[in-house]
Every structure is written in C-alpha cells, then in structure tokens.
Amino acid sequence: MKIVVVGPGAFGIKHLDGLKNIDSAEVVGLVGRDAAKTQAVANEYAIPNVYTSLEDALESDADAVILCTPTQMHAAQAIACMKAGKHVQVEIPLADSWEDAQEVLKVQEQTGKVCMVGHTRRFNPSHQYVHNKITAGELNIQQMDVQTYFFRRKNINAKGEPRSWTDHLLWHHAAHTVDLFAYQAGSKVVKANAIQGPIHPELGIAMDMSIQLLAENGAVCTLSLSFNNDGPLGTFFRYICDNGTYIARYDDLVDGRENAIDVSEVDVSMNGIELQDREFVAAINEGREPNSSVAQVFDCYRVLYELEQQLNAQ
C-alpha cells in the first residue's frame, strides 16, 4: 500500500510513527509547505518523495493519502483525493461545517473510495475494552462524564510550535466525544445542548464550553471543555454503566475504585493512531468499509452543527 502523508507537523509525525510498524504499508511521499522542514522529516523516515502541494502528490501512483492538515482544509482536500482516485484518511475533524461534511459523504458515495476519519477514541485500547464488553452484552452505558482540558491561550500545536490556523473546542475536541458517546451507547444522539464562555479577543474562539447529550436509548453525556486549564492536560472519560464504572485516561483504564485494568492484550498495539492506520490499510486491502468511515461518523457533524446554531444564537 503506497501512502502519501500530508502535513509534517505533530500529527503527521504520529502517523509516520504508526505506519512504520505496518508491514503492508509504505510511505512514498510527504507533503508540506516548508520544503526544508518537510525534507528533514522525510530524511528521518526514509520517505523518497517530497512535495510542497497536495496537487503534485495526487499525480503520483500512490494508493492512498492521510491528511494531517489544518481543519479548514480537511473537507476540500478529502474530496480532491477521492476525485483523484485515491483512498483517504482525514484527521479529525472531517469538516468545520455541516455543508462541507455533507459534500464529503456525497463524493465518497459517488467514487466508492475508502474515506476514513481520525476518530481515534474508537481505536484506543482503553475504549476498545469498554466497547468489547458492550458488544458482548456485558454492560450498557448509563452516563459518560468527559473532561477535555488544555492550556492553550496562544495559537500553538501539540508540539508547542506556532501554527497558522486556530483549533476549536466544538468542531475539533467535542467531535471526539460526540462520536464516541454515540458509538459506545449504540444509539443516536437525539438531544444536545451547549453553552460557552467569552470569545478570546485574539484567537476569536470560546475558551470554555459545556455540552450535554441525550441518546435515543436514554444514555446521557456531560462534556466539559477548556483551553484555560493550567493543570493535568488531555481528555478523561468516566463510563458509568449498569454493570460497573470505568475511567479512561488515554490508553490507561481503571475501574471506579481506581483499580488498574490491563488493556495491553486488547489489540496488536497500544498506539491508537497506529491501530487507526492499520484499520485504514486493512479496509482498503479487503475492499470493505472501515471503522470510523465518513458514513459512520457523519451524524456527529450533524450534532456539532446543531450545537453551533445554539451557540450562535446566545
């Protein structure tokens, strides 16, 4: 499987680290606006071709593309990849508008290409462990309590480097939980409410947000998000179930009494990004729809759109 990775930044590196462990995948190209920086990363990972535009990379004989680019480019680039005959995995979020999300799904259906979205929580072993118990009929979600906390008052990426685009609590960080809640509950979100704090004068986004979700089967979710949290960073999930409580902190999982749960045997790796990439490659090779396909995560963006409408009306 010949793959081009677009974006040599923090998440591009995460995908390169994951892909090097997949025998059936070969990264044949790296795309970045800064030629020198991109070449340096390509040299480190022995990638033979460097491009400064996606358009040039799409003319290559690559089979698939992984997009690790600014949010505002995701939808248009995913569409361009599929129309060029390439399978595509686009990092979360699929889009930052409902209209763009609809267009991506339309093009996927027209082209028949694999289009997968980086909803990594579906693949983290900690969340897989809970999901496996749900699908085995051992428990059901009653409530999810989720905290997504960062300290990000300047426009920097996960590596602490300046970037040209602005992250977003709703369209990026909430997307993880909105999708995961519906996925784990096995039920569509039928009611959603949101409130937000003041808009940052320079970044132009809300720095604090609170979201409530109700699934059709009665499960509820409360999500708190902040870019103002000067403390432990990341997203922390509490699953309150009819048969136990679980707390997931990325790839670590404990029960409600903080007893550690071994998730090392849940999958072939403890790296959620690697597992995500393995699913992408396998789905293409096997000619099937991947977990976290655009069709499967599509309803998440309907919910985000409805929440955006609420917030705009406040």
d(CA 26, CA 64): 10
Both tokens assigned to 290: 């991947």
pLDDT in tens, 50-93: 999 999 999 999 999 999 999 999 999 999 999 999 999 999 99
My answer on whether 196 and 305 are in the same domain is yes
pLDDT above 80 (res 155): no
pLDDT computed for residue 152 by the predictor: 80
Q: Which residues have CB under 8 Å from 271's CB, separation 6+?
A: 17, 18, 21
pLDDT in tens, 123-133: 999 999 999 99
Q: What are phi and psi of 74, to 5 degrees?
A: -55, -55
My answer on whether 63 and 155 are in the same domain is no
pLDDT above 70 (res 164): no
User: Is 228 inside any structural domain?
Assistant: yes
pLDDT above 90 (res 225): yes
Measure the CA dihedral 131/248/197/118, to 10°: -50
Contact predicate 21/269, CB 8 Å: yes
Both tokens assigned to 305: 């759109």
d(CA 31, CA 286): 27
- What is the secondary structure of 212-228 as a DSSP string? EEEETTS-EEEEEEESB
User: Is 267 inside any structural domain?
Assistant: no
pLDDT computed for residue 99 by the predictor: 98
- Alpha carbon 109 to chain centroid, angstroms: 21
- Supply the DSSP symbol for 20: T
pLDDT computed for residue 165 by the predictor: 55
pLDDT computed for residue 146 by the predictor: 98
Domain encompassing residue 225: 121-257+299-313
Q: Which pLDDT band, with edges at 50, 70 and 90, does 210 fall under? A: very high
pLDDT above 80 (res 162): no
* Whole-structure pTM value: 0.94
My answer on whether 86 and 178 are in the same domain is no
pLDDT in tens, 12-46: 999 999 999 999 999 999 999 999 999 999 999 99
What is the domain-level CATH number for residue 115? 3.40.50.720
pLDDT in tens, 166-205: 678 999 999 999 999 999 999 999 999 999 999 998 888 8
Pairing of strands 64-67, 189-196: unpaired
User: Is 262 inside any structural domain?
Assistant: no
Q: What is the mean pLDDT of the chain?
A: 95
pLDDT in tens, 258-270: 999 999 999 999 9
My answer on whether 233 and 283 are in the same domain is no
User: Is 138 inside any structural domain?
Assistant: yes
My answer on whether 154 and 303 are in the same domain is yes
User: Is 148 inside any structural domain?
Assistant: yes
Domain count along the chain: 2
Name residue 19's amino acid: L
